[in-house]
Chain A
Amino acid sequence: MYNLRRFIIKHHVIILFILLEVISILLLARSQNFHRNWMVNTTNDVVGKVYEWGSEVGNYFRLNSANKQLAEENALLRKQLSVVYDTTTCVYDITQGDTLFEYIPAQVVNNSTNQVNNYIIINKGTKDGIRRDMSVISTEGIVGVVTDVSRHYASVMSLLHSKSVVGVRIKQSQELASLKWETNNYRYGTVEDIPTHIILQKGDTILTSSHSDIFPEDLMVGTVEEFYPTAVDALNRAKIRYSTDFSTLRHVYVIHDLHKAERDSLKIRQQ
């Protein structure tokens, strides 16, 4: 016992060093999966507050472009609403269709694009009805998936994440493929597993597929920038440009899929 104590006292620096490094590695290893650990959850509110405070300053400089973007979206929504607009009674009747999705507007309080695993923090949390695994979109295209929620804030795993995989569809040919991120440039992603007979041109549109568990169907993802055909029998790849500009992301919508629980329970019963 005496020897042990002497050993610890003599080598306390190296022991402490190894201990702290082991703690770091364990924390890091646990954070590698989508749902991060208790530490991020418990501190999310404080971190969110600081970021919100910081982004309030920057927001003033972006009011102009934010206004423009929202006005454009308004115009688009009006156009879509005209389908259900009854000209005789001047009433918008949206009860005719079965509502599948609810959109919860939120603001980005922090966003990174230069890490290997990027997360976005938004200013809506459990009190606004945000839950894990809800999808997040902007007016330009898809953004990411909610991974952690605290009372007032939520963190969103952005498409710019080394583990991000999204089921996508090529608009022209309806073929399915999957979208990943190559971790170096926030403007471009990579579509993999494109069937060999499909040849893509620059500018072809990529949408979300109905097979994606996360995103609703037919949302804009991006456009093809470069097509890489492979020589032998392998599946093709393509570089795409995200339609969402992650560097200027401010206003987003969290999508509450009202039928998700129903679909999930069916899936469980099948197994």
Chain B
Amino acid sequence: MNRTVVQIIRFVVLVLFQVLVINHIRLGGYVHPYIYLTFILLLPFSMPKWQLLVLGFAMGLSIDLFTGTPGLHAGATTLMAFCRPGIIKLVSGSLKFDNIQEPNLGQLDGMWFLRYVFCLVFIHHFALFFLESFSFRLIGQVLLRILLSVPVSVFLIMMILYIFKRDKKKE
């Protein structure tokens, strides 16, 4: 299937899954996992930076429309997309991906993937929860939210990547 079509489908499915399923799961007041980030994580390595930013913004804004918080997810996801190339360099070290086009759990080392996902999810959640409270008044609560949500998000995203890794190889 065409790569662009796959990405469009992935975009729509992740938005729907996030707003119709994940947003309704309540794990105490502090745990808010966000799995739509998988979309940004799986974009091709060679994608120009400006495209990453635009897609990050679009993804965040789509979630915002459903949660009624314009600008909140858009801001956090744009920041995450902006940091992605730097984080890839940081976690890879001397590793090179000459023959790999997209980050893919089947072809890349699991530990590499975990570090990559963790760093970007952390940046996103950090920005998101601070923007959400819009002040430093509730700093303890915000930090607790970040601390509890990041592991759950990372876990769910790794699960999604694991479940869909085999389908990727068949393509």
Chain A residues close to B by CB (< 8 Å): 12-13, 16-17, 20-21, 23-32, 36-37, 39-40, 43, 46-47, 50-51, 54, 110, 112-117, 119, 155, 183-186, 247
Alpha-carbon separation in the docked complex, A37 to B70 (Å): 8
Residue of A nearest to B133 (CB): A116
- Are B78's CB and A24's CB within 8 A? yes
Q: Which 9 A-B pairs have the closest CB atoms?
A: A27-B71, A24-B75, A28-B71, A54-B20, A27-B70, A24-B71, A119-B68, A13-B49, A24-B74
- Are B141's CB and A112's CB within 8 A? no
- Are B138's CB and A26's CB within 8 A? no
Say if the beta carbon of B16 comes within 8 Å of chain A: yes
Q: Among the listed A20, A21, A40, A115, which residue makes an inter-chain contact with B70, where contact means beta carbons less than 8 Å apart?
A: A40
Min Cβ gap B141→A in Å is 6
Q: Among the listed B50, B53, B65, which residue makes an inter-chain contact with A43, where contact means beta carbons less than 8 Å apart?
A: B65
What are 5 A-B contacts defined by CB distance under 8 Å? A24-B75, A28-B70, A40-B68, A40-B70, A184-B30
Alpha-carbon separation in the docked complex, A167 to B9 (Å): 47
Min Cβ gap B12→A in Å is 11
A-facing mask of B1-38, CB < 8 A → 1, else 0? 00000000000000010011001101001101000000
Residue of B nearest to A42 (CB): B65
- Are B141's CB and A21's CB within 8 A? no
Chain B residues close to A by CB (< 8 Å): 16, 19-20, 23-24, 26, 29-30, 32, 49-50, 53-54, 56-57, 60, 64-72, 74-75, 78-79, 82, 131-134, 138, 141
Residue of B nearest to A26 (CB): B71
Alpha-carbon separation in the docked complex, A36 to B60 (Å): 18
Alpha-carbon separation in the docked complex, A47 to B115 (Å): 35
Alpha-carbon separation in the docked complex, A186 to B29 (Å): 8
What residues of chain A lie closer than 8 Å to B29, measured between beta carbons? 114, 184-186
Further 12 A-B residue pairs, CB within 8 A, beyond A16-B54, A23-B57: A20-B57, A20-B74, A25-B71, A31-B68, A31-B69, A37-B70, A40-B65, A114-B32, A115-B32, A116-B132, A183-B141, A186-B29
- Are A39's CB and B70's CB within 8 A? yes
What residues of chain B lie closer than 8 Å to A119, measured between beta carbons? 67-68
- Are A12's CB and B66's CB within 8 A? no
- Secondary structure dominating the interface of A: helix
Min Cβ gap A66→B in Å is 17
Interface centre among A20, A112, A115, by most chain B C-beta atoms within 10 angstroms, is A20
- Are B26's CB and A247's CB within 8 A? yes
Min Cβ gap A180→B in Å is 13
- Are B53's CB and A16's CB within 8 A? yes
- Are B132's CB and A27's CB within 8 A? no
Given A183-B138, A185-B29, A25:B53 Cβ within 8 A: no
Alpha-carbon separation in the docked complex, A20 to B65 (Å): 16
- Are B74's CB and A27's CB within 8 A? yes
Min Cβ gap A182→B in Å is 9
- Are A115's CB and B132's CB within 8 A? yes
Min Cβ gap B40→A in Å is 14
Alpha-carbon separation in the docked complex, A113 to B20 (Å): 14
- Are B23's CB and A112's CB within 8 A? yes
Min Cβ gap A232→B in Å is 23
What residues of chain A lie closer than 8 Å to B24, measured between beta carbons? 112
